[in-house]
A = this chain, B = another copy of it.
Amino acid sequence: MQHNPKKINSELNPNVSVDCVIFGFDLEQLTVLLIDRGEISSAFGPRLALPGNLIYDNENLDMAADRVLDELTGLKNIYLEQVGAFGDPDRIHKESDREWLKSIRAEPEARVITVAYYTLVTMSQYKPQASSFAKNADWVPVNEIKELAFDHFEILQAAKEKLKQKIKIQPIGFNLLPEKFTLSQLHRLYESILDKPLDKRNFRRKIQKLDILTSLREKQRGVPHKPSLLYRFNEEKYQELTQTGFDNFGF
């Protein structure tokens, strides 16, 4: 928790926390980085929760979200979007929740509102076992999550919906892919986020017409089938597009 020593002199605000829905994509499906709260909670409710923490009084909300992400994964400068504020007075129900909150320095009796963010990371840049902060963290496919601690399941639903809407307007999906990727991977990504099948040929036609991909003269290697061409996201062309007011990346 002392990962960012500059912050430690400031005071934690006991009323406001930040929770992060950290999305990843394992090239098959959308996943979320969850932390396991361990035995302490297992008898009472869901062990899995979104990573989060109270905010410091001298940081703004976006910075707090960056910090939580950094503490857990060591990643910086990650795509980040606010989902919204969640704050039912009774959002902390269980004795186990209170115990656990104490263990991370929160005031379990205070009413806490949380500001939720979602972030998009490239899974290959981060494996949970690589970081000492992430001993209890792991990627879980979104579709397999049926419950979470506190009101985190509700937050996850809201984040999925925000992401879905956002990707119809901006091609932010590239933040979830490695630098080089195939059209099929991009296709799968859009299908998982939009949660519906998309026709292969129509998808390819549409994405190619946008002209925001650079085709690398390079093929996939080691796959037991016809290897795919690799592409890279072309930031410059994307900027050109948006600056002309274009905003129809919808599917």
Contact = CB atoms under 8 A, between A and B. Distances in A.
Interface of A: 13, 15-16, 55, 57-61, 82, 84-89, 111, 113, 115, 165, 169
A89 B7 CA distance: 14
Contact of A111 (B57, B82, B86): B57
A86 B84 CA distance: 10
Given A16-B16, A58-B89, 5 more contacts: A16-B87, A16-B113, A61-B85, A85-B85, A87-B115
- The 6 A-B pairs with the shortest beta carbon distances in the complex, nearest first, are A85-B85, A15-B15, A85-B115, A60-B88, A61-B87, A57-B111
Contacts of A113: 16, 61, 113, 115
Contact of A89 (B60, B87, B88): B60
When all copies of this chain in the complex are counted, the total is 2
Contact of A60 (B61, B87, B165): B87
Contacts of A57: 89, 111
A89 B15 contact: no
A44 to B, nearest CB: 23
A22 to B, nearest CB: 19
A52 B32 CA distance: 35
Contacts of A16: 15-16, 87, 113
A18 to B, nearest CB: 9
Contacts of A89: 57-60
Contacts of A165: 165, 169
A85 B82 CA distance: 8
A99 B86 CA distance: 29
A160 to B, nearest CB: 15
A59 to B, nearest CB: 7
Contacts of A115: 85, 87, 113
A156 to B, nearest CB: 17
Contacts of A61: 85-87, 113
Nearest to A169: B165
